C-alpha cells in the first residue's frame, strides 16, 4: 500500500492509501477520490518526502519543532512538543474506530506471529480448532490465502506505528 499526500482544487490537503500508483490514477479518473473537507473530486498528488522504514533501529521519534522553545510552545525544562496533524472530525472518528477494531482483535484473538499463513490454512482445512487469529503475512502470502478461499483482512496499524 502507498500513502499519498493529496490536495484538492481548493488546496485542502489530506492523505489516503492506495494499492498502487495506477490504482490512484484509475480511481481519480473515475471521480472516486474526493476531498474530505469540501467533497471536490478534482484531486491530485501533492509533493511528499519518501518514508523508508529502518529495521536496524528502534522506533522512530519525530523531531522537535524548529525554533526556540518559546516559539514552539514548550518551556525549556519541558519535553519538546510533538507536531500534530490537524484531523477533520470524520478522520478522527475513523481513526478511533480503527483503534477500537485493533484493540478488539488483539484482546480476543491469538497472535500467531509469522505462522499466520500456516495457521490460517490449518484452521480453514479443519486440521486444528476454529479460533480467531492474527499475525504477520506478506502481501504474496495474503493473496495466496485469498486465492485458496481463506478470508483474511489487514489489521489496522497501532496508533504508535508510523507508516
Residue 87 lies in a domain: no
Domain boundary among the residues 28, 45, 62 is at 45
The stretch 51-68 carries a mean pLDDT of: 51
What is the grid cell recorded at 74? Answer: 514548550
Residue 23 lies in a domain: yes
| 19-49 per-position pLDDT tens digit | 888 888 899 899 899 988 898 999 998 876 5
| Model confidence, pTM | 0.46
Residue 68 lies in a domain: no
Residue 25 lies in a domain: yes
- Chain-wide mean pLDDT for the chain? 79
Which of 88-92, 113-117, 134-138 is predicted with the least confidence, judged by mean pLDDT? 88-92
Residue 122's domain comprises 99-154
Residue 6 lies in a domain: yes
Q: What is the DSSP string of 89-154?
A: HHHHHHHHHHHHHHHHHHHHSEEEETTHHHHHHHHHTTSS----EEE---HHHHHHHHHTT----P
Residue 159 lies in a domain: no
> Total domain count for the chain?
2
Amino acid at each position: 500500500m502507498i500513502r499519498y499526500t493529496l490536495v484538492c482544487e481548493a488546496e485542502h490537503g489530506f492523505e489516503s492509501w492506495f494499492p498502487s500508483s495506477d490504482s490512484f490514477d484509475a480511481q481519480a479518473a473515475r471521480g472516486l477520490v474526493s476531498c474530505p473537507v469540501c467533497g471536490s473530486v478534482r484531486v491530485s498528488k501533492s509533493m511528499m518526502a519518501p518514508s523508508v522504514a529502518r529495521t536496524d533501529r528502534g522506533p522512530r521519534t519525530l523531531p522537535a519543532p524548529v525554533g526556540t522553545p518559546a516559539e514552539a510552545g514548550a518551556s525549556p525544562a519541558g519535553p519538546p512538543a510533538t507536531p500534530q496533524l490537524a484531523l477533520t472530525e470524520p478522520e478522527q472518528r475513523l481513526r478511533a474506530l480503527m483503534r477500537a477494531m485493533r484493540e478488539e482483535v488483539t484482546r480476543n484473538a491469538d497472535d500467531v506471529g509469522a505462522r499466520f499463513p500456516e495457521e490460517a490454512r490449518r484452521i480453514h482445512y479443519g486440521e486444528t480448532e476454529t479460533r480467531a487469529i492474527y499475525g504477520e503475512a506478506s502481501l504474496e502470502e495474503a493473496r495466496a490465502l485469498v486465492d485458496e478461499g481463506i478470508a483474511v483482512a489487514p489489521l489496522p496499524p497501532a496508533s504508535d506505528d508510523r507508516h
